[in-house]
Amino acid sequence: MIKPGATLGILGGGQLGRMFVMAAQSMGYAVTVLDPAPDSPAGRVAERHLCADYLDFMALDELGSTCAGVTTEFENVPADTLRYLSKFCPVSPDADSVAIAQDRIQEKQFLTHNGFALAPYLILDGQHPLTPAIDPTLFPGILKNSRFGYDGKGQVFVESADKLHDALISMNNRCCVLEKKVSLVREISVILARGRDQQIVCFPIAENRHTNGILDVSIVPAGIEEAIAVQAREIARQIAIRLDYVGILCIEFFLLENAQLLINEIAPRPHNSGHFSLDTCITSQFEQQVRVLCGLPLGNASLMRPAVMVNLLGDLWRENCAPDWRLIFNHPVAKLHLYGKQEARPGRKMGHFTVLADTVNEALVLALSIKQALTAEEQSFSFPTLE
């Protein structure tokens, strides 16, 4: 067990890292962040920021030799980095698990090999001429880069087979996965924690609504039948077990009209759709991440009240002025979280707010009304920079 007072390390300095740092500090730990950005959100609140590349071995030596354990905030940290750090201290998740989840081709091959249900797909290496043998039932489809895609980036909608060649060119002929676009009822996600002792704790299932490929709203608990919820949690558990995964893991699902669940993606880290846990779960996903890394017993992840989480994107910042946060603060059941990012850009996640209520419908109605007010407001005021 890594006891409070020790220093923990995290690879990645974004908002997920920032929330991990805050959770760790509240539990008595110090944190060192390694991130190449000099002004990263996590680096600004951590005890120490190593501003270096993830393959800078001098920095990795420093991180590994001064930290009692290391974790990650995003899946694109090189697996070799995790493997190298494991020589110094416990690392979660491990390199082998991350290597699978950070590459769509490896991820789909792993899931297919283990019998998990996916939407029909085709792996394309981008280098060889297409043949007429491509299954026409894969269209319309989504062409996705095998690596480094998130929030709808690295994806192209492909209406028909004759459009595929141009789509591959737009992807610079990288290795891709073509996925059939399925007709779905809703998207849901299961976030779980799995400890080194193989204990698994699932968070409440979230229903997720996206806009332009970016998560917009998460609703908890999801409006699904209990039998589907049980099935989704069991699939997520089995994936974690087959991966021999240790850490926080998110499984995104498509729910089809026939009540079938298809796996969309695996995220080997805390997830945007789990931010509600900060305000309405006994243990947040970030505290749980600390517990896993430190070998502590996992916390209770029960939902105390229904909640709706809404992302705040840089589009809301007009002429470098933040929205009028009084539109959120005026509601006692609404909670604002800002990430300390200095530059607001369209599509950039700048923060989120969560609304708690006695029922899901009450929370959703209020959350959407606040969202509409923030979007529609004509007057805004300068908001102090977070220091």
Q: Is 179 annotated as a binding residue?
A: yes
Q: Are residues 154 and 12 in the same domain?
A: no
Q: Are residues 129 and 77 in the same domain?
A: no
Which two tokens mark 190? 């299961």
Q: What is the pLDDT of residues 253-311, one digit of tens each?
A: 999 999 999 999 999 999 999 999 999 999 999 999 999 999 999 999 999 999 999 99
State which of 134, 163, 180 marks the end of a domain.
Answer: 180
Q: What is the pLDDT of residues 58-94, one digit of tens each?
A: 999 999 999 999 999 999 999 999 999 999 999 999 9
Q: Is 371 annotated as a binding residue?
A: no
pLDDT for 381 equals 42
Residue 141's domain is classified under what CATH number?
Answer: 3.30.1490.20
Q: Is 265 annotated as a binding residue?
A: yes
Q: Is 115 annotated as a binding residue?
A: no
Please count the structural domains in the chain.
3
Q: Are residues 188 and 175 in the same domain?
A: no
Tell me if 365 is assigned to some domain. Answer: yes
Tell me if 302 is assigned to some domain. Answer: yes
Q: Is 149 annotated as a binding residue?
A: yes
Q: Are residues 172 and 40 in the same domain?
A: no
Phi, psi at 150, each rounded to 5°: -160, 155
- Provide the residue range defining the domain that includes 340: 184-376
Tell me if 201 is assigned to some domain. Answer: yes
SS3 262: strand
Question: Is the bond preceding residue 221 a cis peptide, omega within 30 degrees?
Answer: yes
Residue 343 gets which letter from DSSP? -
C-alpha distance from residue 354 to each of 45, 155, 206, 332 (Å): 22, 29, 13, 11
Residue 62's domain is classified under what CATH number?
Answer: 3.40.50.20
User: Residue holding tokens 């505290």?
Assistant: 287
Q: Is 299 annotated as a binding residue?
A: no
Tell me if 115 is assigned to some domain. Answer: no
Q: Is 264 annotated as a binding residue?
A: yes
Q: What is the pLDDT of residues 8-31, one digit of tens each?
A: 999 999 999 999 999 999 999 999
Q: Are residues 287 and 341 in the same domain?
A: yes
Residue 144, pLDDT > 80, answer: yes
Q: What is the pLDDT of residues 173-204, one digit of tens each?
A: 789 999 999 999 999 999 999 999 999 999 99
Tell me if 382 is assigned to some domain. Answer: no
Which two tokens mark 227? 């039998």
Q: Is 180 annotated as a binding residue?
A: yes
Tell me if 111 is assigned to some domain. Answer: no
pLDDT for 386 equals 33
- The pLDDT of 102-115, averaged and rounded, is 96
Give the predicted TM-score (pTM) of the model. Answer: 0.94
pLDDT for 153 equals 74
SS3 117: coil
State which of 43, 72, 92 marks the end of a domain.
Answer: 92
Q: Is 135 annotated as a binding residue?
A: no
Residue 331's domain is classified under what CATH number?
Answer: 3.30.470.20
Q: Is 365 annotated as a binding residue?
A: no
Q: Is 153 annotated as a binding residue?
A: yes
pLDDT for 320 equals 76
pLDDT for 100 equals 95
Tell me if 259 is assigned to some domain. Answer: yes
